[in-house]
């Protein structure tokens, strides 16, 4: 893994005058995040950007001393800060990365930039700083030859939608749903007629590479994702009355993926707890937690409704379930068996209090989660923009096609 220095790619900084109430009063410096001097300041900024009612519960993301933790797994990444030149105060941050993404509408793949964790100090909002950060990260992406850039936000974040859709000309790419289950809910007993088995990593790579061809969007480096230490493993489920031929071959996965049972399901588990945690502040005696934790995402998602426990007042983590797939008439029972199994896995992960997954609105698996009990769900939106390095209008199938209905959610983005 290598890191392309933003100092070489970003021309050191961007200095822009901002208008506030029609008066040019501020000069802002956009520069690369400096770990040596910015760590504590950025952590404090992100705590001040906590989400939730001032009269009730507020939630913020605890980066555990590493603001770059969410993007370190990408070979090409950067974090930019917005600094007031008059006093050196950091008033905003944004993270960005670049990866190769496969699509069903493209003959090969595209170079996709991703905007993650855009934050502006509450005292300095509505002054153009967020727009400046977005434009700056887009410039960095273009210098690194990205063809597109994407961002995720929840459908109730109207300020974010206005910023990207109206001011930055992003178009809606996909609608997704995030499902969450607190680990404290006792997992149901696993069915005696279902067999759950962990795959060897090479088997998982073979299976996913075959299945990803049917996705509208998916990461090209699925092998790197599955081999990452944060990926706890991949499990399959099928009914004991059938055999999965070749599954016992632990080293090679070419054959078993083509000889599946009539119904089967697969799921992979990502330990987000090792990257960042969530923390509740100013707890009040409410029965339910109503808060916005933007994903992509911008650190989580909205309208999380879970009973509050004393243990949630300390930093807590979660497991993200990705790569959910399968087929067959009895797929629903098998995928929910894996969901319950993942809850048991979470019980053995330190500080883990919930499990989550995210599915496209037209993903065939969505119907099974929508009907399940003890789960909250949140609507998430993905936006896309073609950059100057992108294909010509005639070749731009990705934005011309419009809506991506069935996507593979990269756990590194969450």
Q: Give the whole-angstrom CA distance, residue 310 versus residue 369.
A: 28
Q: Is residue 225 part of a domain?
A: yes
Domains identified in the chain, total number: 2
Detail the DSSP E strand segments found in 259-362: 264-271, 277-281, 291-292, 302-304, 317-327, 352-360
Q: Which of 143, 173, 203 is the last residue of a domain?
A: 173
- pLDDT tens-digit readout, 238-255: 999 998 888 887 655 566
Residue 11, pLDDT > 90, answer: no
Q: Is residue 393 part of a domain?
A: no
* DSSP H helix total and E strand total for the chain: 9, 19
- pLDDT tens-digit readout, 361-411: 888 898 888 666 556 667 889 999 999 877 777 677 677 666 677 889 999
Residue 346, pLDDT > 80, answer: yes
The token pair at 170 is 């992003």
Q: Are residues 15 and 140 in the same domain?
A: yes
Nearest alpha-carbon partner for 306 in 242, 376, 361, 359? 376
Q: How far is CA 74 from CA 96, 113, 114, 223, 243, in A?
A: 10, 11, 11, 13, 38
Q: Are residues 247 and 369 in the same domain?
A: yes
Q: Are residues 344 and 229 in the same domain?
A: yes
Q: Are residues 297 and 326 in the same domain?
A: yes
Read off the DSSP letter of residue 167. I
Mean per-residue pLDDT over the chain, rounded: 80
Q: Is residue 215 part of a domain?
A: yes
Q: Are residues 88 and 228 in the same domain?
A: no
Q: Are residues 212 and 162 in the same domain?
A: no
- The pLDDT value given to residue 300: 39
The token pair at 101 is 């993404």
Across 32-37, average pLDDT = 95
| 103, 201, 272, 97 alpha-carbon torsion, rounded to 10° | -40
Is the distance from CB of 150 to CB of 173 less than 8 angstroms?
yes
- pLDDT tens-digit readout, 156-213: 889 999 999 999 999 999 889 888 888 865 556 678 899 999 999 999 999 999 898 8
Q: Is residue 390 part of a domain?
A: no
Comparing 28 with 52, which gets the higher pLDDT?
A: 28
Determine which of 47-56, 84-93, 280-289 has the lowest per-residue pLDDT on average. 280-289
Residue 257, pLDDT > 90, answer: no
pLDDT band, very low/low/confident/very high, at 277 (cuts 50, 70, 90):
confident
- The pLDDT value given to residue 308: 45
Q: Are residues 47 and 132 in the same domain?
A: yes
Provide the residue range defining the domain that includes 354: 181-383+402-413
Q: Give the whole-angstrom CA distance, residue 354 versus residue 73.
A: 23
Q: Which of 122, 143, 173 is the last residue of a domain?
A: 173
Across 207-229, average pLDDT = 92
CB within 8 A of 72, min separation 6: which ones?
Answer: 66
Nearest alpha-carbon partner for 71 in 9, 117, 134? 117
Q: Give the whole-angstrom CA distance, residue 5 versus residue 232.
A: 30
CATH number at residue 125: 3.40.630.30
Q: Is residue 391 part of a domain?
A: no
Q: Are residues 238 and 362 in the same domain?
A: yes
Q: Are residues 265 and 366 in the same domain?
A: yes
Q: Which of 173, 197, 227 is the last residue of a domain?
A: 173
Across 323-343, average pLDDT = 94
- Angle at CA 187, nearest 5°, toward 328 and 345? 85
- The pLDDT value given to residue 157: 86
């Amino acid at each position: 893994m290598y890191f392309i220095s933003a100092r070489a790619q970003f021309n050191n900084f961007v200095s822009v005058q901002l208008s506030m109430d029609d008066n040019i009063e501020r000069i802002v410096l956009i520069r690369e995040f400096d770990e040596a001097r910015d760590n504590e300041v950025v952590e404090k900024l992100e705590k001040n950007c906590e989400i939730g009612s001032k009269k009730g519960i507020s939630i913020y993301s605890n980066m555990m001393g590493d603001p770059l933790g969410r993007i370190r797994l990408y070979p090409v990444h950067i974090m930019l800060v917005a600094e007031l030149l008059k006093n050196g105060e950091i008033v905003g941050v944004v993270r960005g990365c670049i990866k190769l993404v496969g699509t069903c509408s493209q003959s090969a793949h595209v170079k996709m930039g991703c905007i993650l964790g855009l934050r502006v100090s509450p005292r300095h909002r509505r002054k153009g700083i967020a727009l400046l950060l977005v434009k700056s990260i887009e410039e960095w992406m273009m210098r690194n030859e990205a063809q597109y850039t994407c961002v995720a936000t929840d459908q109730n974040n109207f300020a974010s939608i206005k910023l990207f859709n109206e001011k930055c000309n992003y178009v809606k790419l996909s609608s997704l749903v995030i499902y969450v289950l607190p680990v404290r809910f006792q997992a149901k007993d696993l069915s005696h007629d279902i067999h759950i088995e962990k795959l060897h990593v090479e088997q998982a790579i073979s299976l996913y590479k075959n299945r990803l061809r049917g996705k509208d969007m998916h990461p090209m480096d699925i092998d790197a994702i599955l081999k990452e230490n944060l990926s706890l493993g991949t499990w399959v489920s099928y009914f004991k009355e059938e055999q999965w031929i070749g599954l016992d071959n632990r080293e090679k996965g070419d054959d078993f993926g083509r000889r599946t049972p009539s119904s089967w399901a697969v799921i992979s588990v990502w330990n987000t707890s090792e990257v960042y945690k969530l923390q509740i502040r100013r707890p009040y005696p409410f029965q339910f937690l109503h808060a916005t934790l933007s994903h992509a995402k911008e650190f989580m998602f909205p309208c999380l409704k879970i009973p509050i426990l004393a243990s949630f007042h300390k930093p807590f983590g979660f497991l993200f379930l990705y790569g959910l797939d399968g087929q067959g008439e009895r797929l629903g029972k098998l995928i929910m068996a894996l969901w319950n199994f993942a809850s048991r896995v979470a019980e053995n992960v330190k500080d883990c209090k919930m499990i989550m997954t995210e599915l496209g609105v037209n993903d065939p698996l969505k119907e099974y989660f929508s009907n399940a009990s003890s789960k909250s769900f949140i609507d998430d939106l993905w936006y896309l923009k073609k950059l100057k390095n992108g294909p010509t209008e005639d070749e731009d199938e990705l934005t011309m096609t419009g809506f991506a209905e069935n996507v593979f959610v990269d756990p590194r983005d969450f």
